[in-house]
Structure 1
Amino acid sequence: MFAEKPTLKGERVTLCPVRPEHAEGLFELASDPEVRRLTGSRARFDLENLRTWYATRAGHADRLDLAITVDGEFVGEVVLNELDTDNLSCNLRIALIGPRAFGRGYGSEAIGLVLDHAFRTTPLHRVRLEVFGFNERARHVYEKAGFVVEGVERDALLWDGEWHDVVVMAILRPEWQARTGTLA
């Protein structure tokens, strides 16, 4: 379903297929303590493994990995993964590189671009995501994009000795169509 790896252009951001040259930006993103907390990521990565990872993404038709760039500079990634072709659904994951990318609208624009692509060019019916209860900034962005809270997984993340909920959200094709006035 995601065999084509497009470049999507917005007003401020460009989403392009991830390539090995984006690995340094991903390494910075994955190493930032605040980004790690916001994503619940405990994994440690090295630059060569990330280069290999990004070099292999183009060969996966079951996912779409896009670098978020501003004026050619990597500021994050947005990914459609966990494709369920039987139920026409997938997961959305997004991460920005940190304070220099937070609060500038890059995430909102990237989400809008990737949803537009997903619902216009694929038969997807549902895109879901998870966000930690403490990440109000991200939850606001998701709600603004049309995602609806579907449930809460209580105490699903133990981080620095504290339990946190995971909020499950999704947007359905008809909701996206109503928001955008699109008949896809």
Structure 2
Amino acid sequence: MSAVVDLSNKPKIKGEKVVLRPFKDEDFPFIEECLKDTEIIKLTGSSPDFDRELILNWYATRNKQTDRLDLAIADKSQGFLVGEVVINLYDEKNHSMNFRILIGPRGRDRGLGTEATKLIIDYVFKNTTLNQLTLSVFDFNPRAKYVYEKVGFVIYGIDKNDLEYEGEWIDSINMKLTRENWINREKNPY
């Protein structure tokens, strides 16, 4: 990992509706609720079966990571975790990283995911030298795709039949947001 992409600082980023912050021990019941949510399982291609202790230990180490940024999304009005944002998987060739977001049932349909996405993208491009952020979204998740396009991500490829869900094959849409496009968005906001 290049020293210019040191993600050891785990910031607290405040928006109008959400606060992105390092994980706390008291977040785990809310994380567990998110990971067991049927919509999240479907839209992320995850399994409903997981080792609770393993997941608890994994989240307990997120704040110590220097090569990735994992932040809790806390609902500002309620004070509890409703999801997470993650910047990970450094790609040295393109000087880019992957972005992903997860919004649990308590955080949906209120614009929290959109705001969290904007906040983390702004933070990354203002505080690192990364050239771009990339992501993949399953084709049966139009709500997420809409948010990503709204903040400036563009499609650059499709992985056909990437996930089998209930006997049907689902494509994965690959998207990216370059620093240049982000700068242009900053000049002409959303």
Q: TM-score range by the shorter chain?
A: over 0.9
Structure 1 unaligned blocks of 5 or more: none
Q: Secondary structure at the match of 1:54?
A: helix
Give the structure-1-normalised TM-score: 0.93
Q: Are positions 1:49 and 2:54 aligned together? A: yes
How far, CA to CA, are the matches of 1:53 and 1:43 in structure 2?
Answer: 17
AA paired with 2:158? V
Residues 27 and 45 in structure 1, CA contact (< 8 A), matched pair in contact too: no
Q: Give how far 1:89 is off.
A: 0.5
How far, CA to CA, are the matches of 1:49 and 1:22 in structure 2?
Answer: 15
Residues 23 and 50 in structure 1, CA contact (< 8 A), matched pair in contact too: no
Q: What percentage of residue pairs aligned between the two structures are identical?
A: 44
AA paired with 1:74? L
Q: Secondary structure at the match of 2:161?
A: strand
What's the Cα RMSD here? 1.4
The equivalent of 1:146 in structure 2 is: 152
Residues 75 and 107 in structure 2, CA contact (< 8 A), matched pair in contact too: no
How far, CA to CA, are the matches of 1:82 and 1:16 in structure 2?
Answer: 20
Q: Secondary structure at the match of 2:61?
A: helix
Residues 36 and 48 in structure 2, CA contact (< 8 A), matched pair in contact too: no
How far, CA to CA, are the matches of 2:154 and 2:93 in structure 1?
Answer: 22
The equivalent of 1:22 in structure 2 is: 27
The verdict on how the C-alpha distance between 1:53 and 1:19 changes in structure 2, with shifts beyond 3 A counting, is: farther
Q: Are positions 1:74 and 2:81 aligned together? A: yes
The equivalent of 1:88 in structure 2 is: 95
Give the length in aligned residue pairs: 181
AA paired with 1:58? N
